[in-house]
Chain A
Amino acid sequence: MSVDKQSIECTNDKEIIVIKDMNKWYGNFHVLKDINLTVKKGERIVVCGPSGSGKSTMIRCINRLEEFQRGSLVVNDVEMIEDVKNIEAIRREVGMVFQHFNLFPHLTILENLTLGPIWVQKRPKEEAEAIAMKYLERVQIPDQALKYPGQLSGGQQQRVAIARSLCMSPQIMLFDEPTSALDPEMIKEVLDVMVELADEGMTMICVTHEMGFAKKVADRVIFMDAGEIVEENEPNEFFNNPQMDRTQLFLSQILEH
């Protein structure tokens, strides 16, 4: 696919995330090494790799839950710099779903969902609640609205977490191992919601080991190891014809069972 400068204006080809030479250290430990990644609007990207490979760290840099020390990051035409304004502008466009859901345990499901619209987007409460109910219906748990997170199953909590991000109408969704803490029977209900979201054209970066999900929805699969992007390809090629020996080893290990 060749893209010239003019066609970037076209919405479907707009480069919404541009990471250039990103490097990150924890103290002296070099966690991310020369990461280069460009994501176009509407693209679905799956990131996989062994634990400690830096995949979570990389996506957490995108909404600045982690800082990087060298390189550049542009999200939706806003450059990530120290300025609080830029950070807030980027966080408004980027939703994130965590491995451990991170719902606010002292608030009801509905309050979890309306918090952002009310306090960040300054919407009136009625409007925020209407939006919240819309997304709760989309993840199929409107009847749980008045319960507390502790009363829901893991799968339900993760769907609430997805709905909470969607309430902020983000342009990009980041998923950080969203199904790793779930029982097998609950993984499917969360993946179904994510597939639906992908079908609607949401830009997604998803760190996951659900290879079925990757084959089904990903436009590109990225394999990381030791802080580097080792291989990057469209799913068919990635799974059937991996180019690097490290990728082959990883795939043989996770697909064995």
Chain B
Amino acid sequence: MQAREFKALPDQPAPVSTTGPIAWMKDNLFSSVFNIAVTVIITSALISILPGVLDWLIFSANWSGTSQADCVKDGACWVFIQAWSQQIFYGSYPDGEIWRVNLSLMLLAGVIALSFTLPARLRNKIAVPAYLLLPFVCLLFLDGSNIGLTPVSTDLWGGFSLNVLIAAASIIIAFPFGFLWALGRQSDMPFARSVSVTCIEFFRGTPILALFFMGSVMLPLFFPSDVTVDKLLRVWIILVLFMSSYMAEVFRSGFQAIPQGQYEAANSIGLGYWQKTLLIIFPQVIKIAMPNILATFVMVFKNTVFLLVIAVPEMLQVIMSALSNSNWLGGHAVEGYLFVGFIFWICCFSMSLLATSIEKKLDTSHQN
């Protein structure tokens, strides 16, 4: 018997009523009585609150001037931020030397941009060493004494640039440290394992504030009296250790998500331990752990404001001392804290966007 020919039916477009903005609104905003109620309540709340907020923030706000006396309108007094902007961003870093802070920030931005634009082949060879060198190059420039610039004591470093730079420097060093601790934690060697577990559990189980106090008050007791370790350096070390312990756990969750078959395939090809770890496991761990890696970055970045408890003049500390300045006693706390929140939010949100783009770049699981 002759077989009949099988012909697949052609694809047809979906019915119009299930696509487009009207259908979307029907599905998502007005699908049930409860949904309609929620939509109406939230919309009316926004309508009643937003105009007042926007008016205070923008339309009736005081945008120009130099002193408190210039804040005559009802709205926010942004003059306060303007007047203190240099301290807010650079602390007490000397006027003529601020280019060194800007250079450091530009180097940081440059290396990040480099790691996103370089082709994969060069990325490992150029961007990775660039990242690892960055904290030390910035340190040389900011301190200045070793490269023939005017020495600037770390007491004068401060403001938002300090939050950014110390967070970046901690993240960069904590990344490989955390990875090593995570490897150690799942190692077969009892010594490597117990050292890693102890470090991870100690630094993860201790509040960051307690660690800062320990670093600034207790650590010097252990050094000989003629040796002084700079306060900022101690803070950096503590942030690195604290963050490494979190990164180690983030990496460990990534390790556990890698199927056993990946290790077996790598073994059967004959790859050695480090080849297997760096070529096969690490790239997949990074991809899986990306959301948690970002969460840890954001956490450390935000935790830099805690430096104020040991009198490091980071951004929030500067705002607080400005608020108690005798020329600005008009109660600008709302503006000050809103501004701090806004700046941190901008930074963390851009980190989120960056991380999302990395995730997309790393995603090779797409089906046909």
Contacts and interface: CB of A to CB of B under 8 A. Distances in A.
Contacts of B264: 65, 96, 98, 102
Interface stretch (A18-26, A27-35, A103-111): A103-111
Contacts of B366: 148, 150-151
A245 B287 CA distance: 52
Nearest to B121: A125
A102 B270 contact: no
27 contacts: A63-B267, A64-B267, A65-B267, A88-B272, A91-B268, A91-B270, A96-B268, A98-B264, A100-B259, A100-B261, A102-B262, A102-B265, A103-B265, A104-B266, A105-B365, A106-B287, A106-B364, A115-B271, A115-B279, A116-B269, A116-B270, A116-B271, A119-B279, A120-B275, A151-B367, A165-B268, A168-B270
Contacts of A96: 264-265, 268
B107 to A, nearest CB: 30
Interface in B315-368: 362, 364-368
Contacts of A148: 364-366
Nearest to B265: A102
Contact of B269 (A149, A151, A164): A164
A49 interface: no
Interface of B: 259, 261-262, 264-272, 275, 279-280, 283-284, 287, 362, 364-368
Given A106-B283, A150-B366, A119 B271 contact: yes
Interface string A47-91: 000000000000000011100000000000000000000001001
Contacts of B272: 88
B367 A104 contact: no
A155 interface: no
Contacts, number: 72
A106 B362 contact: yes
B303 to A, nearest CB: 31
Closest 3 A/B residue pairs (Cβ): A102-B265, A102-B261, A96-B268
Nearest to A150: B365
A45 interface: no
Interface string A114-125: 011001100000
Contacts of B269: 91, 115-116, 120, 164-165, 168
Given A100-B261, A151-B367, A119 B268 contact: no
Classify chain A: how many residues form its interface, as a range: 20 to 34
Nearest to B365: A150
A103 B365 CA distance: 12
B296 to A, nearest CB: 22
A148 B368 CA distance: 10
Instruction: Determine which residue in A91, A98, A106 has the highest number of CB atoms from chain B within 10 A of its CB, and name it.
Output: A106
A92 interface: yes
A96 B261 CA distance: 12
Contacts of B364: 105-106, 148-150
A103 B264 CA distance: 11
A94 interface: yes
A115 B270 CA distance: 10
A165 B275 CA distance: 17
Interface in A110-168: 115-116, 119-120, 148-151, 161, 164-165, 168
Nearest to A153: B368
Nearest to A116: B269
Nearest to B272: A88
A236 B67 CA distance: 101
A63 B267 CA distance: 9
A173 to B, nearest CB: 11
A95 B268 CA distance: 6
A105 B284 contact: yes
A73 B76 CA distance: 81
B270 A92 contact: yes
Contact of B368 (A94, A95, A151, A168): A151
Contacts of A149: 364
A108 to B, nearest CB: 8
A120 B367 contact: no
A94 B268 contact: yes
A63 B266 CA distance: 12
Identify the interface centre among B259, B267, B272, B275: most chain A CB within 10 Å of its CB: B267
B265 A119 contact: no
A3 to B, nearest CB: 30
Contacts of A165: 268-269
A103 B259 CA distance: 11
